């Protein structure tokens, strides 16, 4: 535009004036171009930020709304939760729309100390409550990504959260989770969300064996009475 204006034969006066002010004109033009570029850059950046923020907000609202529902203790049915007596529990989640289930475990307590060796059995005399803090079990949903996606999509009200067993030691909780999963054959059917079973090494915990022996004695005495 500047070249066309300067080459026009009908604008000699204006041309002379512009030549006198060439330096200023170029500075003004450069400043205008720079301002335009900066404005466009700011507009694009603001638009991108707004899109990113809206996306994050959308995810955050969905997750927080789900967790706010999970904060109610009533979303756990079955056995009554008792963190004062038990270390954790084995649970079953059922999709009421499809019938699919998930078997998992959750601890009532999480470590509150940096000590490597802590007693994980509430029935053990060495148990120290100061080494533990209450976990997020009240708002806990599941560790299964597929299951959580279904809960987000279909709504928490379409799922049943049931506590099957409660145990005083973490070892007993882990053992019973594996046992129930093997008994249900969760890896052999599409009726379960479970995709793997945790490896458990060692003999059955004394808490489990003690309960089994008590059941055996109970059945024995009932048989004798009959």
Strand 159-167 with 88-95, pairing: antiparallel
**Mean pLDDT across 106-132:** 86
The top-scoring range by mean pLDDT among 33-42, 62-71, 97-106 is 97-106
pLDDT-wise least confident of 30-39, 100-109, 134-143, 191-200: 30-39
**Mean pLDDT across 12-37:** 47
Beta carbons of 191 and 99 less than 8 angstroms apart? yes
d(CA 153, CA 66): 11
- Which helix (H) or strand (E) is 8 found in, with range? none
Structure tokens at 225: 């009475």
d(CA 202, CA 60): 42
- Could you write out the DSSP letters of every residue in 23-34? HHHHHHHHHHHH
Three-state secondary structure readout of 195-217: CCCCCCCCCCCHHHHHHHHHHHH
d(CA 6, CA 10): 10
**Mean pLDDT across 176-191:** 94
**Structural domains of the chain sorted by starting position, each given as residue range(s) with its CATH number in brackets:** 74-197 (3.40.1440.10)
pTM of the model: 0.61
Indicate the average pLDDT of the chain: 74
d(CA 210, CA 220): 15
Confidence of residue 118 (pLDDT cuts 50, 70, 90): confident
Confidence of residue 120 (pLDDT cuts 50, 70, 90): confident
Strand 76-78 with 159-167, pairing: parallel
């Amino acid at each position: 535009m500047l070249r066309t204006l300067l080459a026009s034969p009908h604008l000699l006066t204006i041309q002379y004036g512009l030549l006198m002010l060439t330096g200023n004109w170029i500075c003004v033009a450069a400043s205008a171009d720079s301002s335009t570029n900066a404005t466009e850059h700011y507009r694009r950046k603001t638009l991108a930020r707004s899109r990113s923020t809206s996306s994050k907000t959308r995810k955050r609202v969905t997750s927080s709304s789900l967790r706010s529902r999970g904060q109610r203790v009533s979303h756990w049915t079955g056995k009554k939760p008792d963190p004062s007596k038990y270390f954790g529990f084995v649970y079953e989640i059922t999709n009421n729309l499809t019938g699919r289930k998930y078997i998992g475990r959750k601890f009532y307590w999480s470590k509150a100390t940096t000590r490597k060796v802590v007693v994980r059995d509430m029935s053990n005399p060495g148990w120290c409550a100061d080494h533990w803090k209450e976990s997020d079990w009240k708002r806990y949903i599941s560790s299964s990504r597929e299951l959580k996606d279904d809960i987000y999509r279909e709504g928490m009200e379409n799922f049943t959260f049931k506590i099957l067993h409660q145990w005083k030691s973490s070892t007993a909780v882990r053992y019973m989770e594996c046992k129930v999963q093997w008994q249900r054959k969760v890896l052999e059917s599409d009726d379960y969300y479970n995709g793997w079973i945790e490896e458990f090494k060692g003999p059955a915990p004394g808490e489990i064996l003690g309960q089994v022996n008590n059941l055996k004695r109970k059945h024995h005495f009932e048989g004798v009475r009959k």
